Each structure stands twice: as structure tokens, then as C-alpha cells.
Structure 1
Amino acid sequence: MNIQSSSESQVITVDVVKANDLLRNGGYRYLDVRTVEEFEKGHVDFDDALNIPYMFNTPQGRVKNPNFMEQVLPVCTKDDHLIVGCQSGVRSVYATTDLLDTGFKHVYNMGGGYLAWVENGLHVVAPKVGV
């Protein structure tokens, strides 16, 4: 049996339909951990959607944002209810783990990420074309 001693926190993943319900009706906020460039190409449609990248693209590949928690803490409290999403659901698992390990209590990972959100026909904010 593989037990992770570094994390007592168990990441709970919800599908995009459940995430949409929690965001619309459950008092949850959306934390998009994709890059700013990805976010600007389109994102989940919520007025207070936050975009705090968990990783950055560099010439050497993706690297973890060393200031992720320092950027989250001024805009979210540890009692906030958060849905964490990325492009496909991988970065958001890592981000959710970090949030839980830091003491956040009500955080869900959005399985499938933005791609699954779009595939399910849920509302998105798309970039303005020709503006």
C-alpha cells in the first residue's frame, strides 16, 4: 500500500457538471490555474473567476509558479469554497493538493478541466475576435 506521508489531504475530484452546479448554486468560486495565455483564449464563465497560474511556460518547459500560494492567499481565505480547474485536470490536482496542505478546507478539483467543460457545452467566456 502506498501512503503519502507528505499529505494528509485527500483531493476530491468532481466532474464539470457537479462543478458547474457548485459554482452556480453552492457559493463556490472558480480558481483557474492555467497560464494567463490559456485563460485569455477562453475560460469558465463566472464573474469572479480567478486566474492564478500554477505553472509557467518557459523555454525549458513548464515550471511551477514559486509564488502560487503567495498569490492565492491575498484573494482567498482558507475557509473559501473553491473549485480548481486547469486545461485537462492535471495541474489542478497539484494545485488542489497544495491548497489543502496549506489549510484550505473546502477545495475540489474539477476533473477533465476546461476541455471537459467545453465538451459538455457549459458556458465559457471566449476572446473577443476583431476588437
Structure 2
Amino acid sequence: MPQFKTIPPQEALKLIKEHPEFTIIDIRPQEDFEDEHLPGAQNLDYDGHQFQKKVEKLDKEKEYVIYCKSGVRGEYFMDKMRESGFKKAYNIQGGFVGWKIKKLPLVSD
């Protein structure tokens, strides 16, 4: 059964720890991603060229945790995933900023 939901950062961390098979997608610009991101995240720049083509390459059967800077674009992106036939995605409430405020784990390149 498809499931799409915005969840608090702490709940997202718990989901990620309990389900290592989840794919974590950072939709912020690549420069921001390179500065700091969630452990295990991959970058899919929402504003970048060829964004729709990148999304189409994603496996619709997999489960995703997505985040942007503040949570707004993540919500929009999650809706697009639902419309495109994806099965499960979670948007992090407050995005990267919300995650960082809670002092949850981050990776710097």
C-alpha cells in the first residue's frame, strides 16, 4: 500500500536506522550537499538540469526518505513521487534545517 508522509527529524532518523534499505535523497543544490548532508544520502539537485530524467531513473519500488533545506520543496517532491507511481516516501519535516537544529548526525565532505 503506497505511503507518503512528512515526519519529524527524530522519526526519520529512527526509520533510517531500522530500515537501512531506505534510499536517502537530498534535493538541495549540489554545493550545499557537498558542505554537509545526512549520512548515506545521495544528491539529486531539485533545481539542477535534467531533474525529471534523474527522478525517472529512480526505482519506484524502493522506499525513500527525502529532504530539502526547509521541508517545503521536499513536500512538493514527495507529491510528485506519489503522482509518478512510487510506493513509499517520507519527507523530513523542517528539512535539513530541522535535522540540524535537532543536532542529528551529519557528514561533511
Could you say which TM-score interval applies, normalised by the shorter chain?
Answer: 0.7 to 0.9
C-alpha RMSD of matched pairs (Å): 1.8
More helix by share: 2
Q: Is residue 79–residue 105 contact of structure 1 (8 Å, CA) maintained in 2?
A: yes
Q: Which is bigger in relative contact order (C-alpha 8 A, separation at least 6)? A: 2
Normalised by the length of structure 1, the TM-score is 0.74
After superposition, where does 1:13-52 map in structure 2 within 5 Å? 13-26=6-19, 27-46=21-40, 49-52=41-44
Return the alpha-carbon distance in structure 1 between the equivalents of residues 99 and 70 of structure 2. 9
SS, match of residue 28 in structure 2: coil
User: Structure 1: which 5+ runs fail to align?
Assistant: 1-8, 57-64
Percent identity between the two aligned chains? 30
Aligned counterpart, 1:73 = 56
TM-score (norm 2): 0.88
Aligned positions, number: 107
